[in-house]
Chain A
Amino acid sequence: MNSTFWVLGAVLLVGLCPAIGQNTAAIARLPQTTREEILARAKTFANHKWTCSAKNLHASCYANYRSDWKDGQVITGIPYNWGGFDSPASFDQKIAKGMAAGSHSRYGVLSCTAGIDCSGFVSYCWGIPLKSHTYTTSNMRDIGGELKSNWFTDLQPGDALDKPGSHVVLFTGYNPDGTFNICEAAGGPARVVCHKTTWSTHKGFIPLQYKGLY
């Protein structure tokens, strides 16, 4: 029995080591960034001004698409686009090409729309290149360490609040009344917005700190 135990242990170790090594290497490869840079990126999304034209109201790949916007409307904030991971620059390029501005899950993930979703937004703010939608709310913990401190007093701007399978937001600071501020890409406002919020509307969210901070 003893020998079986050691053999199994050895097999387990051999099996796990590469995985541990890969994870450590993945963290080491994460882009390094500062909290100031994270907040600055968030602002570029929330403050991005763009004008919707008639060609951005229709999605060429989905007939029953209904736009959130109107022709000629000047909007502040990159549109919410479920499954999307556009930077402000790539969003502008796609809008200029006539792609539709933003989308919701009810239309599915569309290749003919432009914008960003919640996990794409937080990933981008943390400095992750948006070449593909690598991180979702379910694997954000691969790049964000869970915070064990007092969440009501010890979060820092640039941390995230993540509810796996649901939503993730960027924490930007506490208010004197104990509430807090966030930036998020969400379907309700249909774009990236920064606003005050309460703890009660974020029950079940888990605070995370980006692992590539320096």
Chain B
Amino acid sequence: MAQPYGLILILLIAPATSVRLQDGVATGAKQARKVPLTRTVKLPVIQLSSPNANEKQGNPAALEVWPGAEDELPEGPSGFDVFADGSFVIADPLSLRLVVYDAQGNFKRALPVGFAADSVTVTNEGMILAREANTDAVHPLDREGKPLEQAPKLSPMPEATLVRGENKGSISVGASPGLPAGTLAVRFDEKGSTMVSLQAIGTDSGLGMFVALEATVPEGGADGIDVRKMVQRYSPQGVLVAESAWIPLDYFVPPVDELRVRKGIVYQLMTTRTEVRVNEWDMNER
């Protein structure tokens, strides 16, 4: 995941210098690029049928999913992150391990950590921070899964504020080396749809800020809560330059690490009944 301390973001520090967004496009800027799903990497899953089942025997690449039951959510991979070379580390909590796949989804190695991890963060230095699901303890590991003495202190993601009912919001970014603190203006413009949340999900050196938006579904109709979700990329100057297509939200196992950003690519973890999908949207300039 791109780390906030790697931030090189030119922020808008005064109204006189701010970029004003109108209809989702910065004044004087070109139309934000719509980014369709770039590709999906599929990883194998074994759906367990009983606690004693040994269906995975002979296939270390397979991740385990328990389908749940009446009044119980399915359990399985909910955490992941991406290394600088595009390979993935996925938490496999039912097997008490992490599993590394290359960028094409080929099994590389299993890291038998001995605890159920529900969230994984890869630092810019390649260190793995695996969070133990039932204690919230964060375990620092090297790329081979060997425990490390100390975990680096990561800065939290910048805080966002939604202006309710106005389809806009802002993200406050603390000062980073050589840059002052400031506010990024975020706007969502689509008739019949209301933005209901926004979150900074990544900053990338030279690429700016990545923001996940949730919005109401026009005309609704579905029983219960229903939203759509997309990711916007803002340039270091605060200009909206790219928007992902609506991302699929048909989760079987609810993700803890839903979205990650690495080198301008947005990654989504989606565990289904039959496979783990890592969906990718390449938000880089063309």
Contacts and interface: CB of A to CB of B under 8 A. Distances in A.
B135 A176 contact: no
A136 B225 contact: no
B248 to A, nearest CB: 10
A166 interface: yes
A118 interface: yes
A187 B67 CA distance: 12
The secondary-structure label for the interface of chain B is: loop
Contacts of B229: 200
B71 A201 contact: no
A79 to B, nearest CB: 8
B133 A165 contact: no
Contacts, number: 135
A31 interface: no
A165 B70 contact: yes
A64 interface: yes
Interface string A117-153: 1110000000000000000111000000000000111
B141 interface: no
A199 B66 contact: no
The secondary-structure label for the interface of chain A is: loop
Interface in A78-108: 82, 104-107
A204 B133 CA distance: 25
Interface string A36-80: 000000000000000000000000000011101100010100000
A119 B71 CA distance: 7
Contact of A178 (B51, B71, B214): B214
B183 interface: no
B121 interface: no
A198 B258 contact: yes
B133 A106 contact: no
B225 to A, nearest CB: 5
Interface string A162-202: 01011110000000111100000011111100000011111
Interface of A: 64-66, 68-69, 73, 75, 82, 104-107, 117-119, 136-138, 151-153, 161, 163, 165-168, 176-179, 186-191, 198-207
9 contacts: A105-B68, A138-B70, A163-B224, A166-B71, A167-B71, A177-B198, A200-B214, A203-B225, A204-B224
Interface of B: 48, 50-52, 66, 68-73, 75, 78, 93, 116, 118, 133-135, 159-162, 164-165, 169, 194-199, 214, 216, 222-227, 229, 249, 251, 254-256, 258
